Structure 1
Amino acid sequence: MPVAVNDTVKDKVAEYLDAALGKPVDLAPLPDTTPLNTLGLDSLLTISVLVTLLEDAGVDLGEHADSLVTPSTLGDLYEIADRFLGGPEAEPVVAVPVETAAETREHNAQLAHYQAKLAYEIDSADLRDALAAGQDLVVVDGRSSESYAAEHIPGALSIPHRSISQDSLAGLSRAPLYVTYCDGIGCNASTKTAIKLATAGFRVKELIGGLDWWKRDGHPTDGHAGQEHSHHDAACGC
């Protein structure tokens, strides 16, 4: 259920968006479900807005890192703003030490980097849990069809990155999150696949370590060389 936020919070959000986009944005007629990317915010600009909002609120990101998710809609951004800027019932924050301008820029860049990693990457344990929970996502194998036939993550689609075009993607829904993978850290097919899907307007994350780390974590695979679930699989320590 959307959080009811006051006009002060909405005005503050509008200020952040105006500054990020370099032009006025009229939020009044827009529903909370409005995707931020339709306003002109790409992922990095969205993270920049989030970091600026939290810094203005005096939030110690280290205290809240596990509970913060990069917003994707206007309503998401309103909720975060209301949480930390919403007046007397807003969450208490921990004061951060005063920094020089150079230190602040460096700090912002570092935070944006780590926020981006969480926004664009997923590990095998989180992917396993997301699949088990029935989340709306599609796993995409960006390797060759021969490699896919030999071994792949169960349920994954075979979309070799070399074959991707607007025509080949025409039948895919843009609603799910697409998770791309390849052999592992020595292969960049997942990155090439992610770039092409993102360019075509899909929401994408890349599987850290690819098929290699999926198997190292004991998860099953399908295909000619598929393996059963490993008994040494353990819960993720993170």
Structure 2
Amino acid sequence: MTTVVKDKVAEYLEASLGKPVDLAPLPDDTPLNTLGMDSLLTISVLVTLLEDAGVDLGEHADSLVTPSTLGDLYAIAERFLGAPEEPEEQTVAAADPGGSREQSAQLAHYQAKLAYETDSADLRDALESGQDLVVVDGRSSEAYAAEHIAGAISIPHRSISQESLAGLSKASLYVAYCDGIGCNASTKTAIKLATAGFRVKELIGGLDWWKRDGYPTEGHAAGQGHAHQVHHAACGCAG
């Protein structure tokens, strides 16, 4: 493990805990919770590290398993802040001549999309039918104030903590959204909510597609301009 990687990990931990952290004397198997890191703080550090490294969170979803020790966190930092990964060997198509393995993978993929994603029409129908769900705007408070889905609550993804989630029922289904396909605040919000034990879906197309479908919004900029135009206050995904 390089000194650079250890120093970067220390920086992330210090920023999260709000105090200096001396990792030098600590072995790699030191549990993160002994440093004062709960699961939400840990996932926040992980997401920030991956974001700073320019990592596509969807492409590297396997990296989002919450680390439990310093060694786990070092390994993730080394993976993305260290040397580039070697390309994986291509699977030989002939190994599955019947195509059944590929078909199973496709089926699992599309089932997962429906299990973890929803669209504007389905969300609107669920709200109108009185289903127990909560719509969560993971963008900045400024972007939320400008315009948001009617009835949505504001929980900027960077502010998510045990305190900000206190009082929310885990019996409800939470639907996270952001500006649209050019913003990943909904994905980060969904990750943190799921890590905290909530059931979550992500709204595909976000606020942009919700408005394109003609569904109601609230906020001081609601209704301005074309129906498909999304208001951008600074960077809504910045949280």
Q: Which residue of 1 aligns with 2:137?
A: 141
Q: Which residue of 2 aligns with 1:180?
A: 176
Q: Which residue of 2 aligns with 1:112?
A: 108
Which letter maps to 2:181? I
Moved >6 Å (runs of 4+): none
Matches within 5 A, 1:4-153: 103-153=99-149
Q: Which residue of 2 aligns with 1:218?
A: 214
State the Cα distance separating 1:170 from its structure 2 match.
Answer: 2.0
Higher RCO, Cα 8 Å, sep 6+? 2
Secondary structure of the residue aligned to 1:205 is strand
Inter-partner Cα distance in structure 1 for 2:98 and 2:197 = 35
**Does the C-alpha gap of structure 1 residues 105 and 218 become closer, same or farther in structure 2, counting only changes over 3 Å?**
same
Secondary structure of the residue aligned to 2:144 is helix
Gaps of 5+ in 2: 1-95, 228-239
Q: Which residue of 1 aligns with 2:93?
A: none
Inter-partner Cα distance in structure 2 for 1:115 and 1:199 = 21
Gaps of 5+ in 1: 1-99, 232-238
TM-score (norm 2): 0.53
Are residues 1:164 and 2:160 paired? yes
Output one character per residue of 1:125-162: Cα deviation in whole Å (capped at 9) or x when no partner.
Answer: 00010000000000000000000000000110100000
Output one character per residue of 1:60-112: Cα deviation in whole Å (capped at 9) or x when no partner.
Answer: xxxxxxxxxxxxxxxxxxxxxxxxxxxxxxxxxxxxxxxx5762211111000
Q: Which residue of 1 aligns with 2:70?
A: none
TM-score (norm 1): 0.53
Q: Which residue of 1 aligns with 2:202?
A: 206
Compute the RMSD of aligned alpha carbons: 1.8
Identity of aligned residues (%): 82
Inter-partner Cα distance in structure 2 for 1:180 and 1:227 = 22
Output one character per residue of 1:34-65: Cα deviation in whole Å (capped at 9) or x when no partner.
Answer: xxxxxxxxxxxxxxxxxxxxxxxxxxxxxxxx
Inter-partner Cα distance in structure 2 for 1:193 and 1:158 = 11
Which letter maps to 1:202? F
